[in-house]
Amino acid sequence: MTHSQPFRLDGRVAAVTGGASGIGRSIVLHLARQGAQVVILDRDATGAAAVASEATGESGLEVSSISCDVTRATEVEGAFGRIAEVHGGLNILVNSAGIGQVATIADTSEDDLDRLLAVNVKGAFLCTKAALPLLMASGGGVVLNLGSIAALIGVTERFGYSVTKGAVLSMTRSVAVDYMSRNIRCNCICPARVHTPFVDKFVRENYPGREAEIMETLSRYQPMGRMAEPDEVAALAVYLCSDEAAFITGQALPLDGGVLLT
């Protein structure tokens, strides 16, 4: 398991859900830079196509995109069928598609929870279920889920989000145990707050005139004094998808800026 360059993914086919923006976008770019043939699955067809073009230009590889709502089984099955048809198989699945909510249980409606469960849990379930036959046919591979430290500790006003990320963590461990003998690894990255365009938009829309103050508060939540950057999550994703992480499965890897130490 030695390479002239570490963490290379040459010849691997990788599907990344939610790759049109934020953390997913960074993961797409990093996987392509390491030689993976990446397919973006996202309901934002325009954004996904733009990221695919950007990644193609950077890597010199043909990165493609498929319009796909991960909450709809027929769309997911069609997307993975197309991946099999075009690429002949699959080696890596990154379940990055997800949504958030700021609310306690008292402020979470039934519709709120249904929506969070549909995207964060059902989406990962449908994509993993569709990907597993392709991974097994390829001789094994990697499933990487995007979780959160909210799956590991209590985070204020994140009831529904925490519920779904806890489910993603349990899904990670279940898949890891069930498919270890088929040479499939499944892990979960658990970041603290990550500075994405979503965060900027949320702060701008909900705290007009107080943006700097709120951003400082969000940054200070991490003992290191800042939020994570999407590229830092993507770098860990590349490692977990590579052969250098061949002995790691069923794990929740924190990327938390020291939160779990406090």
The band of 258, judged by pLDDT with boundaries at 50, 70 and 90, is very high
- Per-residue pLDDT at 25: 98
Per the residue annotation, which of 161, 179, 221, 239 is the catalytic one? 161
Q: Where are the beta strands (DSSP E) in 158-261?
A: 184-191, 252-255
pLDDT digits (tens, 9 = 90+) for 235-254: 999 999 999 999 999 999 99
Exposed, middle or buried, 181 (CB in 10 Å: 0-12/13-18/19+)? exposed
State pTM to two decimals. 0.96
- What is the SS3 assignment for 186? strand
Q: Which residue has the higher pLDDT, 226 or 2?
A: 226
Q: Is the pLDDT of residue 1 over 90?
A: no
- For the chain, list the domains and their CATH numbers: 13-187+230-249 (3.40.50.720), 193-227 (no CATH)
pLDDT at 83 over 90: yes
Q: pLDDT for 43-58, tens place per residue?
A: 999 999 999 999 999 9
Strand partners, 94: 16, 144
Residue 3 has pLDDT above 80, yes or no: no
Residues of the chain with pLDDT > 90, as a percent, come to: 96
Active site residue 221: no
Q: Check: CB of residue 146 under 8 Å from CB of residue 94.
A: yes
Return the pLDDT at 17.
98
